[in-house]
Structure 1
Amino acid sequence: MKLERGKDIVFNLIKSLSTSEKRGFKLYAKRFGANENAKFVKLFDTMDKMEVYDEVYLLKKAPVTKKQLANMKSHLYKQILVSLRLIYADQNVELQLNEQIDFARILYNKGLYQQSLRLLAKAKHIAEKYFLDTIMLRIVELEKVIESQHITRSMRDRAEILANEAKNLAKSASQKNSFSNLSLQLYGLYLKVGHVKDEFDKKLVEAYYLKNMPEYDMEELNFYEKLYLFQAQVWFYHILQDFPLCFRAAHRWVGLYEEHPHMKKVATGNYLKAYHYLLDTLFYLQHYDRFTEVFEQFKDSLENDDFKMDDNCRVLAFLYYYSNSINYHFLTGDFSGGVKSVVPPLLKEMALLEDKLDVHHVIVLHYKIACLYFGGGDNIHAIQHLNEVIDHKGDGLREDLQCFAHILKLIASYEEGLDDNLEHQIKTVYKFLIKMQDLHLVQQEMINFVRNLNRIYDYQLKSAFMELRDNLLQYENHPYEKRAFLYLDIISWLESKIQGRPVQEVIREKYQKKLVREK
């Protein structure tokens, strides 16, 4: 029986290990001489050499029977995780604190109550510094157990102090959960449907947001409460396409780390996200200079900030760096430059991270790459990457992104002269749009235009392009229709056809004119 990677959790874990992590496991596993030739170590070596999980091969090479295999893999899995915990304990504050709580519990069980309380007091001080309320609550609960069962005389009114601490921490944790739940649900809504499509959608999102937003006093909120509040605001305004307010929330989110720079070490993932969403909003606002400035700050922080990134943060850094690198080339109109400098390393790293990237982020990158190729005049490669977006179907995927992938593919096919299949493509796209109930004005104009292309003579093309451009210009600042222009700069493409110039030349000219105006 031959299984592909992704079907066996022990195999996946082993394949995710770095060279130093494998070496650390070996040192841990062989710390006792008796483990030198242990079966679970040999099982590790055998699985490490496999390219894909193959149970038949494994049973032939490893000193284990089929009956023993499940238990042996379970034991190996646990030993690898324990070794990783030891490796990263010094680099992760939460791992350190959980270890201290475990030590305090052991001391308590041995009747060494004062030693246990001293250890808990030190751990509480560190947890308070990093706003780790949940861990602080665990510490207080253990302190309450010790104080309630033994007269330690460690502090006057100790019982009342601990009770108040527990009450305040529980309240803070509850409010933090309310903010984080709202942020997560808004994010899930955006992944599913994208931006609001009409007034009905807007009222639904606003009602949900107001209903689930807890009352708060900004002055009383701690780091994590503010962080999740700003996250929720970013997603709320992003869904509504209110980018000025979205920028304000994202800017406050980044500013939170400027107020508490030590939090980059324990909340690194959210630090990277804060910068990404600030850049994302600046891109939508078309603030060229500010985007460039913040992007340079982001790149500098990846190289120089005093924090260590785990695998999860390295994946986020990959996604955010390349997404904003592409956005930079969109803003400046340098599509060909983006194809040359960004796409090759992006695709190379994406292949290496294949097992760690979710489908949503993969299709977003493919769409952005397709836009780079299209802007640079390489329609064949654009179509190839658009197919990667269109072929991914399933719950939780961005319907609006697939919608514009279909439309862009139609345009790219027309540009490339692939007329044979154009009628079939138009029907397919039309059915898709009706099914998702997303046939809005900009899409209608585009579909009607492409459908009639075969009936327009060459000498009529320029007038047809001008008519479509004039029809679409009225929607550029429409509260709901403008979302179409976030996915595809249709106006610049039409102007390139009218003027007989490459689309990237038109966009670059707009970029340069705006730079002059801003100066």
Structure 2
Amino acid sequence: MSKQLSYQLYHLIKRLTKAEKRHFKLYVKRNSSEKEPIIVKMFDAFDRQNEFDEEKISKVFSDLKPNTLSNHRAHLYEQLLSSIRLLHNHDPSIRIKELISYADVLHNKGLYEQSLIQLSRAKQLASKNKMDILKLEIIELEKKIETRYVTGSTPDRAIELTKESQELRHQFYFSGSWSDLALKLYDYYLKFGPVKGKEQQEQVTSLFIENAPMQENALGGDTIFYYQSYVWYYHIIQNFPLCYKYAKLWCNLFDQNKILLEDEPEMYIRGYHNVLSSLFFCDDVKRFREELRRLEVFVDLRKDSFNENQLIQAFTYLETGKLNLFFLEGKFTEGAKYCDVFENKLKAYESRIDIHRKMVFQYKMASLKFGSGDFHGSLKHLNIIVNNPVSTLKEDIQSYARFLSLIVHYELGNDDLVYFQIKSTYRFMLKLKDFQKVHAAIFKFLRKSIYMDRKSLIPYFKELREELLVVIQDKFERRPMLYLDLVSWLESKIYDRPVEEVIRSKKIDKGA
């Protein structure tokens, strides 16, 4: 048995609901003379496992030859997918494809008029749900029938189909271009994070200009990819007010189109995540609370109708918002306590959340615990990031984690570790070209202070604070300060106050 397909089967079966499992068994047994077909026995063997174990599965079916077992495995996988498709045929895309397949069957039987009726029903459904790719496929099938056979259609039918086809192709050019651009920008962000200087900003701007459609107004605000492209562009170059503007327009597009909202709620949720992220970076606590509440209400009202993918998206972005709110309000102790609750919630979704999102969650929890004074707890989360084997992605988080780890070890008095990590972290950041003035100032301070008496460091803390206040006037130098407020950390040392108390007092002064 192929281990890869066995692994896929295991995860597919574990994702099934009770209703889907029950429907599968009824579906398989409907035409079977066997009391319990072998693929049902195989299904149960996978379903009983709490963790995937290929050897146990093979032992259960040790009487079968490897080729026979492999065939049953492949058959089980296909039958599972067929069963799920039939159970969820209320989904518009599945129903449209089903009608297209009916049209193909009727066409092959020479029943052209009946075939066109099925295609007409499919096209109406595709138009209603704005599924233009499927609509174009339907039109091409209609053209095929109309050009080859006498169907008795209206005299202007050929002109109508040609016009529809041309309009859709025109739309696809622009929506496809915006889609490609959005994907390229997202890929850039995953690899490199936000820009770290003017040279990088010019590089991203060139990427945007070279790949954006020539006629910007053509199908601009009519496609979600248009807003996605602008959201990613402004997020990467750290223009968060404009990022918020386009993220809000993204959400407004769904608010104005209830059919689109029903069909793609995960894209609406993703849009709200970008709204919240922009407000977080703008330090706009009031509007952040309001938008987070709107997202919570939306999810609460619709979660019972969400599929599994939509539930994962809702969990990921709601929890990200909740964690970010602790930073905005300066409530680190409260946030650190919530981390324990959040980690238990995360276990239910852990295998279904991508590694990049997990790393971001770990960094947020590490930062909250650092702010609360729980340095050992912070280090636990930082080590997960630093020891992660996928070191070529989410490089900004990798850098920040190593940098924060230095500060944590300094707080814990692990001077020898600090001395060793200064060198390794320095090399890592140089390799990634992520070495900023903020980092240079901290490295310089740590080198000369790690073996000094901490009580005699007040003048050095003051000196470093003044240096950082000048450095962060440059917007490209502020990024390391988003979660780790180094200025407040230094003030906590200067005035002998907990760092949370220093940050919280600033938030209160701003009305948070």
**2:508, 2:161 → 1: CA distance?**
63
Residue in 1 that maps onto 2:328: 331
Q: TM-score, normalised to structure 2's length?
A: 0.95
User: Which shows bigger deviation, 73-82 or 127-136?
Assistant: 127-136
SS of corresponding position for 1:414: helix
Q: Gaps (5+ residues) in structure 2?
A: none
1:317 paired with 2:314, answer yes
**1:500, 1:450 → 2: CA distance?**
19
- Using the TM superposition, give the Cα deviation of residue 144 of structure 1 relative to its aligned residue in structure 2, in angstroms: 0.8
Residue in 2 that maps onto 1:138: 137
**1:259, 1:432 → 2: CA distance?**
47
Q: 1:120 to 1:303 in 2, by over 3 A?
A: same
**2:205, 2:52 → 1: CA distance?**
49
Output aligned runs, 1:250-289, within 5 Å. Answer: 250-289=247-286
1:411 paired with 2:410, answer no
**1:392, 1:242 → 2: CA distance?**
30
**2:370, 2:266 → 1: CA distance?**
32
**2:347, 2:356 → 1: CA distance?**
15
Deviations 1:26-53 (A, max 9, x none): 1211122525321111111112112333
User: Which shows bigger deviation, 314-323 or 447-456?
Assistant: 447-456
**1:306, 1:354 → 2: CA distance?**
19
**1:165, 1:356 → 2: CA distance?**
40
User: Which shows bigger deviation, 212-221 or 384-393?
Assistant: 212-221
Residue in 2 that maps onto 1:96: 95
- Using the TM superposition, give the Cα deviation of residue 313 of structure 1 relative to its aligned residue in structure 2, in angstroms: 1.7
Residue in 2 that maps onto 1:9: 8
Output aligned runs, 1:79-118, within 5 Å. Answer: 79-90=79-90, 92-118=91-117
Output aligned runs, 1:172-191, within 5 Å. Answer: 172-191=171-190
Retained in 2: the 8 A contact 1:2–1:55? no
Output aligned runs, 1:150-161, within 5 Å. Answer: 150-161=149-160
Q: RMSD over aligned Cα, in angstroms?
A: 2.1
**2:313, 2:340 → 1: CA distance?**
19
Residue in 2 that maps onto 1:301: 298
User: Which shows bigger deviation, 472-481 or 370-379?
Assistant: 472-481
Residue-pair matches, total: 511
**1:244, 1:395 → 2: CA distance?**
31
Residue in 1 that maps onto 2:64: 64
Retained in 2: the 8 A contact 1:234–1:247? yes
Retained in 1: the 8 A contact 2:419–2:450? no
**2:411, 2:219 → 1: CA distance?**
58
**1:311, 1:69 → 2: CA distance?**
30
Deviations 1:170-229 (A, max 9, x none): 221222111111101101101111111222111111111101000335474574x2x101
Read off the aligned partner of 1:59 and give its amino acid letter. S
**1:97, 1:275 → 2: CA distance?**
29
Residue in 1 that maps onto 2:199: 200
Q: 1:471 to 1:31 in 2, by over 3 A?
A: same
User: Which shows bigger deviation, 298-307 or 23-32?
Assistant: 298-307
Residue in 1 that maps onto 2:33: 34
Percent of matched pairs sharing the same residue = 36
Deviations 1:327-352 (A, max 9, x none): 000001111112223x2332123222
Q: 1:406 to 1:167 in 2, by over 3 A?
A: same
Output aligned runs, 1:353-392, within 5 Å. Answer: 353-392=349-388
**2:448, 2:399 → 1: CA distance?**
20
Output aligned runs, 1:474-513, within 5 Å. Answer: 474-513=470-509
**2:473, 2:16 → 1: CA distance?**
50
Deviations 1:279-298 (A, max 9, x none): 00000000000000000000
Deviations 1:57-76 (A, max 9, x none): 32332363323111110000
SS of corresponding position for 1:100: helix
Deviations 1:373-392 (A, max 9, x none): 11111000100100111111
Residue in 2 that maps onto 1:448: 444
Residue in 2 that maps onto 1:23: 22
**1:55, 1:444 → 2: CA distance?**
51
- Using the TM superposition, give the Cα deviation of residue 2 of structure 1 relative to its aligned residue in structure 2, in angstroms: 12
Read off the aligned partner of 2:101 and give its amino acid letter. D
Retained in 1: the 8 A contact 2:174–2:218? no
**1:369, 1:144 → 2: CA distance?**
58
Retained in 1: the 8 A contact 2:382–2:405? yes
Retained in 1: the 8 A contact 2:415–2:451? no
SS of corresponding position for 1:34: coil
**2:384, 2:157 → 1: CA distance?**
62
Retained in 2: the 8 A contact 1:131–1:222? no
Deviations 1:53-110 (A, max 9, x none): 33443233236332311111000000000111112221x2111111111112222222
**1:353, 1:6 → 2: CA distance?**
22
**1:307, 1:258 → 2: CA distance?**
20
Output aligned runs, 1:203-242, within 5 Å. Answer: 203-216=202-215, 218=217, 220-221=219-220, 223=222, 225=223, 227-242=224-239
Read off the aligned partner of 1:73 and give its amino acid letter. R
Q: 1:397 to 1:7 in 2, by over 3 A?
A: farther
Residue in 2 that maps onto 1:166: 165
Q: 1:34 to 1:6 in 2, by over 3 A?
A: closer
SS of corresponding position for 2:215: coil
Retained in 2: the 8 A contact 1:59–1:65? no
**1:249, 1:471 → 2: CA distance?**
35
Residue in 2 that maps onto 1:340: 337
Q: Gaps (5+ residues) in structure 1?
A: none
Residue in 2 that maps onto 1:430: 426
Retained in 1: the 8 A contact 2:330–2:503? yes
**1:152, 1:215 → 2: CA distance?**
41
Read off the aligned partner of 2:12 and give its amino acid letter. L
SS of corresponding position for 2:482: helix
- Using the TM superposition, give the Cα deviation of residue 115 of structure 1 relative to its aligned residue in structure 2, in angstroms: 2.4
SS of corresponding position for 1:265: helix
User: Which shows bigger deviation, 5-14 or 200-209?
Assistant: 5-14
Retained in 1: the 8 A contact 2:395–2:432? yes
**1:289, 1:305 → 2: CA distance?**
25
- Using the TM superposition, give the Cα deviation of residue 113 of structure 1 relative to its aligned residue in structure 2, in angstroms: 2.2
Retained in 2: the 8 A contact 1:196–1:239? yes
Counterpart among 243, 259, 266 of residue 246 in structure 1: 243
**1:454, 1:220 → 2: CA distance?**
59
SS of corresponding position for 1:74: helix
User: Which shows bigger deviation, 416-425 or 51-60?
Assistant: 51-60
Retained in 1: the 8 A contact 2:6–2:73? no
1:349 paired with 2:372, answer no
**2:483, 2:233 → 1: CA distance?**
19
**1:252, 1:396 → 2: CA distance?**
33
- Using the TM superposition, give the Cα deviation of residue 271 of structure 1 relative to its aligned residue in structure 2, in angstroms: 1.0
- Using the TM superposition, give the Cα deviation of residue 444 of structure 1 relative to its aligned residue in structure 2, in angstroms: 0.3
Q: TM-score, normalised to structure 1's length?
A: 0.94
Residue in 2 that maps onto 1:74: 74
